[in-house]
Amino acid sequence: METIYFDNAATSWPKPDAVLAAMENYFRFVGASPGRSGHRLSIEAGRGVFETRNALVSLFGAKDPLRIVFTKNATEALNIVIFGLIQPGDHVIVSSMEHNSVMRPLRAATAALEADLTVIPCNPFGHLDPEDVRRAIRKNTRIVFLTHASNVTGTIMPVAEVGRICREHDVLFCVDAAQSAGAVPIDVEAMNIDLLAFTGHKSLLGPQGTGGLYARKGIDARMRPLMMGGTGSRSEHELQPEFMPDKYESGTLNTIGLIGMGAGVREICSIGIEKIRQRELELTAAFMEGASGISGVTVYGDPDPNGRVPVVSFNIDGMRASDVGLQLDDANGIMCRPGLHCAPSAHRTLGTAPHGTVRFSFGYFNTREQIDTALNAIEALSFSSRRKSSCPA
């Protein structure tokens, strides 16, 4: 039985051969720590990490590779922003479609600092009205957080419009690009994004344990580091460096992971992000059209696949999401994710709490044949569920 992997929103798989080759090359022929020595292997490791910074600024429309801070994931990047910028008495705005990587640290920080938090409700499709953000801004609003694309429905948020509103009001704008980086074009300058949190192991095609934060020039002067320690620079001082990116990169970096992520980003640039987007749109549209036509199946979020990244949540009448996921795996080899997807606020918005949904998330390496296999499996499950419900007790 073929393994059909529809869980790319959790982590993308399979990885491109170029990613595996870059990581193997590092372990076989380099292996040293960047910035911790002056010998040629350390210099070569540092060159590999810097090439990843360069690839990322090119992908994100930024200018200075030193504005990229490396972290172990998007969650760490978001925590740097939340605990580094919010001060007592501040006001913070967020949407109701956010992941817990935003909501949990925000709830903790605003409670501890006696700051105010406004959650802007989205509609049942997961759409946000940018004017609701404008109306929510106060004199003490410090920052707006917004997911670029929902990890539950794939809904793409109006990032450019909200960014323009924030810039007009001199409010910082932080975008969670965990689901969008590598899947849709991002231009931090054109979109007025001050801070961009991203992860390496999803649509950037890299390994787990990688991610980062883009920070616009000047923001680092106001943002405290999440932790402090050795950076390989200014070793004669016992105070944390104040310059980017060292201020936020204490401890030895995940060098092999970052080199792998860089290879993933270069693979995206080689294929072309528009080509990737088009293929994933075709897969998403084919699944949505087929699933929407199956009796007893509810598909959530924007009915237009162009308004999504390749993420679709659905339920089958009379079946728990967890049972659907288990049966798809056991009987059909389909890997997906049922449940609340670490985004309870999003599920409350959709009306799917507390049980959640079944989530399919497609990638560039999936095929139309796999979509057809999945639709046949869902139709069979839905038919079986309807037959059971119609049988007398």
Average pLDDT rounded to a whole number, residues 152-168? 98
Average pLDDT rounded to a whole number, residues 348-356? 95
What long-range pairs does 385-389 form, CB within 8 A, spacing at least 24? 385/296, 385/316, 385/317, 385/318, 385/319, 386/295, 386/296, 386/317, 386/318, 388/318, 389/317, 389/318
308, 293, 8, 365: CA torsion to nearest 10: -100
- Which helix (H) or strand (E) element contains residue 116? strand 116-120
| 336 annotated active-site | no
The three state secondary structure string of 86-106 is CCCCCEEEEECCCCHHHHHHH
Q: At 386, is the pLDDT very low, low, confident or very high (cuts 50, 70, 90)?
A: confident
Do the Cβ atoms of 136 and 93 come closer than 8 Å? Answer: yes
Please report the pLDDT score of residue 245 as a whole number: 97
Provide the residue ranges of all domains of the chain, joining segments of one domain with +.
17-271, 272-390
Please report the pLDDT score of residue 392 as a whole number: 57
pLDDT of 312 over the 80 cut = yes
pLDDT of 372 over the 60 cut = yes
Quick check: helix, strand or coil at residue 295?
coil
DSSP 246: G
Distance CA 249, CA 131 (A): 37
Average pLDDT rounded to a whole number, residues 217-232? 94
pLDDT of 13 over the 80 cut = yes
Do the Cβ atoms of 300 and 153 come closer than 8 Å? Answer: yes
Q: pLDDT digits over 169-199, tens only? A: 999 999 999 999 999 999 999 999 999 999 9
CATH, domain range 17-271 = 3.40.640.10
**Cα–Cα distance list, 251 to 132, 243, 247, 255, 369 (Å):** 41, 16, 11, 11, 45
What is the fold of 272-390? Aspartate Aminotransferase, domain 1 (3.90.1150)
Q: At 391, is the pLDDT very low, low, confident or very high (cuts 50, 70, 90)?
A: low
Distance CA 151, CA 158 (A): 15
Quick check: helix, strand or coil at residue 145?
strand
Q: pLDDT digits over 256-293, tens only? A: 999 999 999 999 999 999 999 999 999 999 999 999 99
Q: Which of 166, 174, 336, 342 is catalytic?
A: 342
Among residues 303, 362, 317, which one has the least CA distance to residue 124? 303
Please tell me the pTM assigned to this model: 0.96
Average pLDDT rounded to a whole number, residues 113-119? 97
Distance CA 369, CA 373 (A): 6
Q: pLDDT digits over 62-78, tens only? A: 999 999 999 999 999 99
**Cα–Cα distance list, 268 to 94, 142, 323 (Å):** 30, 34, 35
The residue type of 162 is V
**Cα–Cα distance list, 92 to 81, 159, 168, 273 (Å):** 12, 17, 16, 33
Please report the pLDDT score of residue 191 as a whole number: 98
For strand 4-5 and strand 334-335, is the pairing parallel, antiparallel, or unpaired?
parallel
Average pLDDT, the chain: 96
pLDDT of 321 over the 70 cut = yes
Q: Which backbone phi and psi does 48 adopt, to 5 degrees? A: -60, -40
